[in-house]
């Protein structure tokens, strides 16, 4: 409430002063000017006097540590560099033409709104009630009038969510500027399987003459009912990337073309050394599928493509890669996507390590046997 009155006061005072006449002008003309933390801003005040009188213009009431003032006949320029929160406040420009005095005020507002959004959990699962939190870090001001958080589905707010609360905490202070961490929590309704693969947390800061937004993606994963590695498949459009073929062409899992729609689908099949991924399209003759995206780039994987089937091998190599695998159907351009979660980690010891350990053990046993034999053999 007090902050709102502080912002409205210079607006009212500026309107009153305009009504008193004169031609004192300030650039930018807004009664409230927002500048980012660490940013720069110039305020220019000008006055034109009637007749041949020389105008006098000066910014007053300023701490010299908050800005530099350069005044000439008829104008005065206030420059604020590397703005800190202490630079915020009211600036007053006073001009005179002979015995006539004019005055304009500007409220300088310093804000912080870095692109530092976090979400919890980092991914959602379909067909479950879930709580999600979105946090904006190192921001100021932190009032609901200036900062808002929301969940987006596409470019619209997600419907059916229940707001659980809004929390404001101070960030660990690293300098003189006090910044805040703002968190909003929601309870989500069960997300259906046709929901797009990604929601977004959006943080929006609205200040006089300024509106900024930040986004953070929240992938939506499908529920799992088997012990196979946690993955999801769903159609999604994406730019097509180049693809090459490898010489390996193992047999695909069986495909029932009578029950599948005419769009690509991704299936997975665990192997001794990792995971085989198959992209298939039961669309009849004249179609082809190909891999277009994989974590780390397609060149990091063995793959093979032939008509309506495409294979890609994912080695575990300690932990599985994290990210989206995508394939594309031609003609038509329909996409299928699969998200691989990196919690599945291999706990097996590399064969070379087992071999080295065994050799060292045998050498130690031979040395111990030899020492015992020397000590226990009968004297000759």
E strand spans, 154-301: 156-157, 162-170, 180-188, 198-207, 210-221, 231-234, 265-271, 274-280, 288-293
CATH superfamily of 24-111: Immunoglobulins (2.60.40.10)
302 versus 198: which is more confidently predicted?
302
pLDDT at res. 151 = 93
Please classify residue 130 by burial: count the beta carbons closer than 10 Å to its beta carbon, then call 0-12 exposed, 13-18 middle and 19+ buried: middle
Average pLDDT, the chain: 76
Please classify residue 326 by burial: count the beta carbons closer than 10 Å to its beta carbon, then call 0-12 exposed, 13-18 middle and 19+ buried: buried
Please name which of 157, 149, 152, 17 lies closest in space to residue 95, comparing C-alpha atoms. 17
Question: Could you tell me if 79 and 67 are in contact, meaning their C-beta atoms sit under 8 angstroms apart?
Answer: yes
Tell me the average pLDDT across 360-365: 81
Residue 12 scores a pLDDT above 70: no
**Each residue's pLDDT tens digit, 133-162:** 999 999 999 999 999 999 998 888 888 899
264-340 is classed in which CATH architecture?
Sandwich (2.60)
**122-131, 245-254, 324-333 — which is least confidently predicted?**
245-254
Residue 43 scores a pLDDT above 50: yes
Region(s) of the chain under CATH 2.60.40.10: 24-111, 116-221, 264-340
**193-202, 258-267, 283-292 — which is least confidently predicted?**
258-267
Backbone angles phi, psi at 221, to 5 degrees: -100, 150
Question: Measured between alpha carbons, how far is 130 from 219 in angstroms, rounded to an integer?
Answer: 13
**Each residue's pLDDT tens digit, 59-91:** 876 554 556 888 888 899 999 999 999 888 888
Residue 190 scores a pLDDT above 90: no
Residue 236 scores a pLDDT above 60: no
**11-25, 179-193, 248-262, 292-306 — which is least confidently predicted?**
248-262
Question: Could you tell me if 24 and 93 are in contact, meaning their C-beta atoms sit under 8 angstroms apart?
Answer: yes
6 versus 144: which is more confidently predicted?
144
**118-132, 236-250, 257-271, 303-317 — which is least confidently predicted?**
236-250
Q: How far is CA 246 from CA 9, 126, 271, 320, 338, in A?
A: 71, 35, 18, 21, 21
262 versus 36: which is more confidently predicted?
36
Question: Measured between alpha carbons, how far is 353 from 366 in angstroms, rounded to an integer?
Answer: 20
Tell me the average pLDDT across 1-9: 46
pLDDT at res. 362 = 83
Give the confidence band of 33 by pLDDT, cuts at 50, 70, 90: very high
Question: Measured between alpha carbons, how far is 290 from 241 in angstroms, rounded to an integer?
Answer: 10
Q: How far is CA 281 from CA 248, 255, 276, in A?
A: 20, 9, 17
pTM above 0.95, yes or no: no
Question: Could you tell me if 120 and 23 are in contact, meaning their C-beta atoms sit under 8 angstroms apart?
Answer: no
Tell me the average pLDDT across 24-34: 92
Q: Which SS3 state, helix, strand or coil, does residue 109 take?
A: strand
CATH of domain 116-221: 2.60.40.10
């Amino acid at each position: 409430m007090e902050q709102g009155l502080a912002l409205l006061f210079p607006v009212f005072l500026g309107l009153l002063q305009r009504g008193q006449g004169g031609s004192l002008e300030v650039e930018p003309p807004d009664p409230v000017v927002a500048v980012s933390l660490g940013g720069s801003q110039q305020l220019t005040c000008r006055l034109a006097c009637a007749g041949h009188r020389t105008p006098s213009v000066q910014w007053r009431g300023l701490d010299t540590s908050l800005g530099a003032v350069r005044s000439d006949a008829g104008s005065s320029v206030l420059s604020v560099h590397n703005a800190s929160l202490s630079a915020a406040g009211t600036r007053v420009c006073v001009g005179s033409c002979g015995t006539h005095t004019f005055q304009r005020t500007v409220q300088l507002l310093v804000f912080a709104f870095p692109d530092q959004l976090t979400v919890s959990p980092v991914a959602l699962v379909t067909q479950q009630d879930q709580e999600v939190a979105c946090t904006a870090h190192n921001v100021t001001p932190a009032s609901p009038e200036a900062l808002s958080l929301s969940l987006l589905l596409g470019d619209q707010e997600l419907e059916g969510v229940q707001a659980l609360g809004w929390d404001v905490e101070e960030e660990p202070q690293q300098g003189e500027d006090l910044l805040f961490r703002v968190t909003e929590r929601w309870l989500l309704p069960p997300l259906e399987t046709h929901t797009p693969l990604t929601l977004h947390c959006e943080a929006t800061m609205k200040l006089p003459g300024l509106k900024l937004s930040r986004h953070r993606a929240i992938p939506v994963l499908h529920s799992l009912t088997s012990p196979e590695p946690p993955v999801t498949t769903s159609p999604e459009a994406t730019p097509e990337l180049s693809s090459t073929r490898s010489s390996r062409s193992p047999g695909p899992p069986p495909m029932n073309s009578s029950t599948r729609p005419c769009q690509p689908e991704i299936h997975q099949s665990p192997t001794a050394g990792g995971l085989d991924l198959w992209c298939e399209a039961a669309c009849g003759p004249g179609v082809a599928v190909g891999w277009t995206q994989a974590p780390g780039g397609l060149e990091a994987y063995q793959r093979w493509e032939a008509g309506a089937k495409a294979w890609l091998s994912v080695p575990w190599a300690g932990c599985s890669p994290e990210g989206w695998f995508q394939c594309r159907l031609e003609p038509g351009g329909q996409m299928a996507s699969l998200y691989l979660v990196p919690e599945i980690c291999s706990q097996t010891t590399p064969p070379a390590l087992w071999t080295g350990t065994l050799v060292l053990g045998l050498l130690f046993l031979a040395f111990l046997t030899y020492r015992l034999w020397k000590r226990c053999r009968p004297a000759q």
